[in-house]
């Protein structure tokens, strides 16, 4: 199967600047942080140990930046219909996501098309990623190639 025949993949025609691609809520708890630490190899104790986080000057344990960044991109992947359509993705980390010992926290993600390039058949999607009303990621931009 070639890239242009992936079932469910979004097509380029008809997409315009300002188009909302959707929104989602990410949920993080300590169990998810521990699972991500094991899977990623990032076992920095600020992501699972209250004393280590506080010793580092943090208010509590924080979610991995790369976990937050990657989970936020799922919105774009779902919209595009094919993970291989994402050609580039970058962001600036501006605030940590503090995860308490009990319960969970929610991170809101919304996306909008900021640029359409007809020559390359790509669109640039900007993600707004917030926790408790404050930005977590800034300039979260994904370039997506569509068929």
β-bridge mates for residue 125, sequence order: 113, 142
Assigned domain for 133 exists: yes
Q: Is residue 71 part of a domain?
A: yes
Looking at the domain assignment, is residue 44 inside a domain?
A: no
Q: Domain with 97 in it: what CATH number?
A: 3.10.129.10
Query: Residue 46 falls within a domain, yes or no?
Result: no
Enclosing domain of residue 18: 12-28+64-145
For 59-104, write each residue's pLDDT tens digit. Answer: 999 999 999 999 999 999 999 999 999 999 999 999 999 999 999 9
Q: Residue 4 domain-assigned?
A: no
**Percentages helix, strand, coil for the chain, rounded to the nearest 5?**
30, 35, 35
Tell me the pLDDT tens digit for each residue of 22-50. Answer: 999 999 999 999 999 999 999 999 999 99
The answer to whether position 110 is within a domain reads yes
Q: What is the pTM of this model?
A: 0.91
Beta-sheet strands, E only, within 15-133: 20-28, 86-93, 105-117, 122-131
94-135: per-residue pLDDT in tens?
Answer: 999 999 999 999 999 999 999 999 999 999 999 999 999 999
CA–CA separation, 94 vs 88, rounded Å?
20
| 61 Cβ contact partners less than 8 Å away, ≥ 6 residues apart | 30, 33, 46, 47, 48, 49, 50, 53, 98, 99, 100, 101
Give start and end residues of each alpha helix (H) in the chain: 30-40, 50-55, 65-80
**Total of domains in the chain:** 1
**Residue 5 falls within a domain, yes or no?**
no
Contact 45, 52 (CB under 8 A): yes
């Amino acid at each position: 199967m070639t890239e242009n025949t992936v079932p469910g993949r979004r097509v380029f025609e008809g997409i315009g600047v300002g188009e909302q691609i959707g929104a989602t809520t990410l949920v993080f708890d300590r169990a998810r942080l521990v699972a991500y630490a094991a899977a990623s190899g990032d076992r920095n104790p600020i992501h699972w140990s209250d004393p280590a986080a506080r010793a580092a000057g943090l208010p509590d344990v924080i979610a991995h930046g790369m976990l937050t960044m990657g989970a936020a991109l799922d919105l774009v992947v779902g919209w595009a219909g094919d993970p291989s359509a994402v050609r580039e993705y970058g962001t600036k980390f501006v605030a940590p996501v503090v995860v308490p010992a009990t319960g969970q926290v929610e991170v809101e993600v919304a996306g909008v098309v900021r640029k359409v390039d007809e020559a390359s058949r790509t669109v640039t999607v900007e993600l707004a990623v917030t926790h408790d009303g404050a930005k977590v990621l800034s300039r979260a931009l994904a370039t997506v190639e569509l068929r």
